[in-house]
Structure 1
Amino acid sequence: MRSRFSTATALVLALWGTTVSGADDVSPNIVVIYADDLGYGDLGCYGATQVKTPNLDRLAARGLRFTDAHASAATCTPSRYALLTGEYAWRQKGTNILPGDASLIIKPGRITVPAMLKQAGYTTGCVGKWHLGLGEGPIDWNSEIRPGPLEVGFDSSFILPATGDRVPCVYVKDRRVVGLDPKDPIRVDYLQPVGDDPTGRLNPDQLKIKLSHGHDNTIVNGISRIGYMAGGKAARWVDEDMADVLTREATAFIDRNQAHPFFLYFATHDVHVPRVPHPRFAGKSGCGVRGDVIEELDWCVGEVLATLDRLKLADNTLVLFSSDNGPVVDDGYADDAEPMLNGHRPAGPLRGGKYSPYEGGTRVPLIACWPAKIKPGISDALICQIDLLATFAALTKRNLPQEAGPDSFDVLPALLGTSPVGRDHLVEQGGGLSLRQGKWKLISRQANGQGGPVATKKAAVAKKKKNGPSASAVELFDLAVDPAETNNLASSHLEEVEQLSRLLERIRQEGRSRLVH
């Protein structure tokens, strides 16, 4: 298996062109900090007044803050897939929210953001939440795990295999579980119990966080998860320490690679459930546990920025901060997040959130800071994380082959703030597919593909709460005058509905939206 994957990777790279031995001296380091479930209104620089985010606010003050930037989907796995591959996830089956024992959904050997930057002379590292699958078929957690991040372009990785609320509750460094005792092997099953660990369903008295829906399988660290796990006691993470552990790994990567251009993909766990802040952040925000983990996230960002400053790398480092989808408050644990919001509005002025087809589902914060090149300001350009592949290729003067990044556009001028224009249109995935073009947004709940509603209980609950019971199959909004999407114009603007519907169908049928000349 090892030789097959390495051969496939070598073949693609050979066909791609001559390997660059090193990036130019002016090539910036690139750090992408990718938060989880953080909403458009969750940061001070985006209007939050209750929750304090001083480090991110300073980053925004030094850089460019985008008002119309998007994750490609309203849920995590498809957004992460699209960011790394430059392809809409709904084009590929099996790219919705994955269980913790899923196979890798990015084909080894394809051109990804880290693979492309590696060819441009960058050292590439991945730290944090992965949730794109590992291995091929059943995973043996007690031996070498491949393929994974290293097979899709990363030189090193330190990851959560899936999410904090899914087993296995262990870290994986490169290809092996961290701290595993071979005398206590790990077993994982998502269909039936394994071992004799207590579960949230049968042992609710052992929980330190109660449930609202789902999440009632194996209990780890007093928190019940999705899926069953046995063994690996010495390797299991402590939720309260997770932000510290991941941030330490991220800053260590920067320290190790300071002498040459590097790309760090730092995917934080915060503010995803279970929300278990370190004691120094617990109760700090005054907005409940969700506010506390937002402030913990801000601390993580501050540590990365402080490391860049200490090493005198900040001026020539492009730091991008964003989120994988919009916010959710009750996402399976009864952590009092909703009643404790204290007036805080996670999506700000937008409608919807995670799982939703409305703007709050995919429109998220995006801050771009590169002191040597980007002037501070605000941009209204339409931009999507799926554009990072083509944009970083332009930044590093790489030519993308025709088959690479089929939906990724070069928006480098918008990212650098030298142009107010981003992409022409955008397909958003969540509860169906939506199309943005100009001032118009078309929501087509019938255009499912991989963009259909996530078939989980928590998604159904969130959809009912956020979308309401009377959502139409087709909706049309004029975002120029109605950014909160309150007035459905579909019945009175049939021509616009028809034009946008034809464009959406064409994008679906053609299999790509990036034109190759």
Structure 2
Amino acid sequence: MQLLITLVAALLSHHVEPKHQARPNVVLILCDDLGAHDLGCTGSTVIKTPHIDALRAQGMLFTQAYSSGCVCAPSRCALLTGRSLAHAQIRDNQEVANADDGTYGGQRALTAGTETIARSLQRAGYATACFGKWGLGGPGDATGHPLSQGFDRFYGFLCQRNAHNHYAAYIESDREKIVLDGNSRGVTGAQFVPDLCANEAVQWIASKAPSDAPFFVYFATNLPHLALQAPEEAVAKYLLDEVAYEGKKGYLACPKPHATYAAMVTKIDEAVGRIVRAVTDAGDLEHTIFFFTSDNGAPWELGGFDPAFFGSNKGLRGSKNSLWEGGLRVPFIASWKGHVPFASACEEPVVGYDLVPTILSMTGTRSDAVVDGVSLARVILGEAPCESLALRPPLVWENPSGAGQQAVRDGRWKLVRVQAKSVERARFELYDLGVDPLEAMDVARANPEVLARLVKVFESRTPSEVTEWNYAPIASIDAR
């Protein structure tokens, strides 16, 4: 079995030479808290997403796709470095205090010289830009800034907390703080920041049109993360049953929470449409690969958000901030006009940290980065069957928040370690997702060999230098 896994891993990491003489551009679109079923092409009957649906129609939809983590910062770290959370630098949201002038402090920073996908592409001659939410450093730590991690251009939120209001009072442009006139972090304001980020992305893409150099855009929108806010004209497009949300626990009130959430997702779709149009206008559509996904599953009923109304997680167990399926399952689309089989689909499990080896392969970029993901390039391009992913190495997640969770998926099997920080209370739960996708029946006792095999995956993790991101030693399996 180990030999088979090694051979399959070698096949999936096979270097794919670009079909054009010029290396393709890459646009990576990452949403914030978007549920797996919040798009028209993934089953929503409420929310309108025609531009994203069009990307899906001319590309591949991965129907069992997972985020790299269940909350923002670690998921983004894994996405950009290709390391699972068993080995990644950032494994939870670790906040940095605000400055005396109120500037948001950011989160724990990536270390200097981290081999991000942006750095690899930049070294290979790509122009690189990040627009939207960063969350892997702050203004007080230059090493974690996007411009220090492989990006030529940054416009957006360094700190995730600043991104929690879509009418933020300021934004960062490269290393400059830009005050947004008419915005005061209220319920509404003069400038809807997600639109500003889309504007900047479109302008930057247009500015690259005269150049022969390829580009990489990381468009990390902060939508549809709470608070529930959208321009009035966007909300007015939806006439839905409503109960006004009065605002609790620090969240803003919202008179039309259903219509507002739907409008926020549609605003993502509008941004996608504008970016695709900018690429098309530059004459680069057939030379540009698009990836679309989310940083984690949809949240629970919070801040006026109603996941049951939208079917965001479609009955899956758990939500954001958990390693159950509802916290990890996300939309995942790969689209490259003329290269990806039309309206194709893959049902094998894939994960966000697969994108680094995939992008490296599809762009013909060499990198010394150590990655845990596998390249999906040959599957996406129709050069290998989806089933070739069946013997990939296991998918691994960690969530040190609270009592701690660890999880691993290998084929049909998923093992979850709960209460993982406690020697006395830690236990394993094993699920056969092939027959039990809702994780309702623990079958650990009936499958001791599978349990023992997957536990070994947990034991191979790299301890974190952050003490609270580690777990209790694994006791005897028989005792658990």
Change (3 A) 1:104 1:309: same
Q: What TM-score do you get using the length of structure 1 for normalisation? A: 0.72
- The DSSP-based 3-state class of the residue aligned with 2:218 is strand
Show CA shifts across 1:10-51 (max 9, x none).
xxxxxxxxxxxxx97331110001100001111111111111
Aligned to 1:151: 148
Number of aligned pairs? Answer: 404
417-426 vs 170-179, greater mean Cα deviation: 417-426
Aligned amino acid, residue 441 of structure 1: K
Show CA shifts across 1:466-494 (max 9, x none).
xxxxx983211111111121222122222
Instruction: Using the TM superposition, give the Cα deviation of residue 148 of structure 1 relative to its aligned residue in structure 2, in angstroms.
Output: 0.6
Instruction: Using the TM superposition, give the Cα deviation of residue 153 of structure 1 relative to its aligned residue in structure 2, in angstroms.
Output: 0.2
Aligned to 1:88: 84
Instruction: Using the TM superposition, give the Cα deviation of residue 424 of structure 1 relative to its aligned residue in structure 2, in angstroms.
Output: 2.8
Partner residue of 1:110 out of 110, 114, 118: 114
Aligned pairs for 1:232-271 within 5 A: 238=189, 241-258=192-209, 259=211, 260-271=213-224
Matched-pair contact (CA < 8 Å) for 2:25–2:287: yes
Aligned to 1:414: 379
Aligned pairs for 1:120-135 within 5 A: 120-135=124-139
Aligned pairs for 1:162-173 within 5 A: 162-163=159-160, 164-165=163-164, 169-173=169-173
Correspondence 1:383 to 2:350: yes
Matched-pair contact (CA < 8 Å) for 2:52–2:269: yes
- The DSSP-based 3-state class of the residue aligned with 2:138 is coil
Partner residue of 2:186 out of 195, 198, 222: 222
- The DSSP-based 3-state class of the residue aligned with 1:368 is strand
Partner residue of 1:396 out of 347, 359, 363: 363
Aligned to 2:237: 284
Partner residue of 1:52 out of 48, 55, 59: 48
RMSD (Å), alpha carbons: 2.8
Partner residue of 1:359 out of 321, 325, 331: 325
* Distance (Å, rounded) in 2 between the aligned partners of 1:278 and 1:60: 26
Aligned pairs for 1:463-474 within 5 A: 473-474=427-428
5+ unaligned residues in a row in structure 1: which ranges? Answer: 1-22, 138-144, 182-218, 224-236, 450-470, 512-517
Aligned pairs for 1:320-469 within 5 A: 320-331=291-302, 333=303, 336-338=304-306, 343-376=309-342, 377-401=344-368, 404-419=369-384, 420=386, 421-422=388-389, 423-430=392-399, 431-447=404-420
Show CA shifts across 1:110-156 (max 9, x none).
2110010112221000000111112455xxxxxxx665101110011
Aligned to 1:272: 225
Aligned to 2:439: 485
* Distance (Å, rounded) in 2 between the aligned partners of 1:510 and 1:330: 32
Matched-pair contact (CA < 8 Å) for 1:424–1:438: no
Q: Percent identity?
A: 31
Change (3 A) 1:168 1:305: closer
Change (3 A) 1:342 1:362: closer
- The DSSP-based 3-state class of the residue aligned with 1:58 is helix
* Distance (Å, rounded) in 2 between the aligned partners of 1:271 and 1:113: 25
- The DSSP-based 3-state class of the residue aligned with 2:235 is coil
Instruction: Using the TM superposition, give the Cα deviation of residue 362 of structure 1 relative to its aligned residue in structure 2, in angstroms.
Output: 1.3
- The DSSP-based 3-state class of the residue aligned with 1:497 is helix
Matched-pair contact (CA < 8 Å) for 2:106–2:158: no
Aligned to 1:36: 32
Partner residue of 1:504 out of 451, 458, 466: 458
Matched-pair contact (CA < 8 Å) for 1:50–1:342: no
Matched-pair contact (CA < 8 Å) for 2:128–2:217: yes
Change (3 A) 1:280 1:429: farther
Change (3 A) 1:325 1:169: farther
Correspondence 1:495 to 2:449: yes
* Distance (Å, rounded) in 2 between the aligned partners of 1:337 and 1:300: 22
Correspondence 1:161 to 2:158: yes
Instruction: Using the TM superposition, give the Cα deviation of residue 442 of structure 1 relative to its aligned residue in structure 2, in angstroms.
Output: 0.3
Instruction: Using the TM superposition, give the Cα deviation of residue 409 of structure 1 relative to its aligned residue in structure 2, in angstroms.
Output: 2.5
Instruction: Using the TM superposition, give the Cα deviation of residue 349 of structure 1 relative to its aligned residue in structure 2, in angstroms.
Output: 4.7
Correspondence 1:304 to 2:275: yes
